[in-house]
Amino acid sequence: MNESLLRELVPAVIGVLVRRGADFASAEDAVQEALIRALETWPDDPPRDPKGWLVTVAWRRFLDAARAEASRRGRELAVEVEPPAGPVPDTDDTLRLYFLCAHPTLSPGSAVALTLRAVGGLTTRQIATAHLVPEATMAQRISRAKRRIAGLRLDQPGDLATVLRVLYLVFNEGYGGDVDLAAEAIRLTRHLAALTDEPEVVGLLALMLLHHARRASRTGPGGRLVPLAEQDRSCWDTELITEGVMILQVALARDRLGEYQAQAAIAALHADARSAGETDWVQIVEWYDELLLLTGNPVVRLNRAVAAGEADGPQAGLAALADVDPGLPRYTAVAAYLHERAGDLSRAAELYAEASRAATSVPERDHLTRETARVRQLLRP
């Protein structure tokens, strides 16, 4: 059974139930139950019309729940009579469902979880495993999110920028268990790109593909962090890089530049270099300048300082770093690197040690600790 196809049908089926009168939370619950039933029965008895089958089973589940609720309250529901059998309408509410699940009133974590369940078709267990949290914890998070948007309808306009932020959050969550969230984010973004005509959507898709292409080289044995300059570029996925660059070129040709297109352009320049020494840092600095104009993001300013140090020398990088907030994550690590490049090994060793103590992940801490030891070794007579 093609589970990917099954998940792709989920948002359309939810949309059908909502159009028939179900509220979003109840529709989503009913579709999840239909999915479980499909996983149990389809391998032995696949339906001729998968979407129609899911709609029928999910609608019946919804009616059963509605009738049970009506009995408990001692009143009848308007949805008591099941609609006549017939073909499932072609109307696709998937795009509106993206907007609903990424609603601005939801926290980023809740929006990610709800998107994975309602649009991605993943079970609560799969989402919990991918996030390395107990299933009960994830179930509570999803339930709170559904209650938060309970009164919202699918006919309200949505904010595409919020949807893209949520999808990028999904991509950066990593992976665990039997669900690779990076691959799932790429699948959902491909789907969204087919529903819209916005260059930023394909810009995000290109960015994801270009980053994903380097995934196999990012870590070494035992999860050891491997910096970009030290990665084995023969491990990079050239097919993903080619696809990402082609998609990006199409987006840039629209002449409606956005932050994801600019980020993808930077990633493409890294991917295009056969070695770290051949990287076109001058162009990368120019793209960071474009990105700063678009976002004003302080993290972009920090990354630009690194690029300036590579393009024009470490003193230029340190000068650019003077305009960056020292409280930013990775600021101290960047300062250490630039001081080392400038030949100030004593200050670099101090900063590497300081950065390692402030690291927020074990791989990052271990990497910075190794850098500290390496530079201190260089200082020995």
Kindly report, residue by residue over 66-108, the tens digit of the pLDDT.
777 665 554 343 444 444 445 544 445 678 888 888 888 888 8
Q: What pLDDT, on a 0 to 100 scale, did the predictor assign at position 71?
A: 56
* DSSP-assigned states of every residue in 258-276: -HHHHHHHHHHHHHH-SSG
Q: What pLDDT, on a 0 to 100 scale, did the predictor assign at position 67?
A: 76
- Note the pLDDT tens digit of each residue in 23-55: 888 888 888 888 888 888 888 888 888 889 999
Beta bridge partners of residue 295, listed in sequence order: none
User: Is residue 267 predicted with pLDDT exceeding 70?
Assistant: yes
Beta strands of 101-241 (E only): which ranges? 175-176, 179-180
- Of the spans 23-32, 61-70, 219-228, 268-277, which averages the highest pLDDT? 268-277
DSSP 91: -
* DSSP-assigned states of every residue in 227-292: -GGGS-GGGS-HHHHHHHHHHHHHHHHT----HHHHHHHHHHHHHH-SSGGG--HHHHHHHHHHHH
Q: What angle separates helix 181-195 from helix 199-212, to the nearest 10 degrees?
A: 160
Distance CA 168, CA 359 (A): 23
Entry pTM: 0.80
Kindly tell me the burial class for residue 78, based on how many C-beta atoms sit within 10 Å of its own C-beta (0-12, 13-18, 19 or more).
Answer: exposed
Nearest to 236 by CA among 181, 203, 274: 274
- Structure-model confidence comparison of residues 265 and 9, the more confident one: 265
- Structure-model confidence comparison of residues 9 and 206, the more confident one: 206
Mean pLDDT for the chain overall: 87
Task: Give CA torsion, residues 173, 179, 185, 190, to 10 deg.
Answer: 170
- Note the pLDDT tens digit of each residue in 312-365: 999 999 999 999 999 998 999 999 999 999 999 999 999 999 999 999 889 999
Alpha-carbon distance values, 357 to 180, 353, 379 (Å): 30, 6, 21
Least confident of 21-25, 248-252, 291-295: 21-25
Beta bridge partners of residue 176, listed in sequence order: 179
- Note the pLDDT tens digit of each residue in 111-151: 888 888 888 888 888 888 877 789 999 999 999 998 888 87
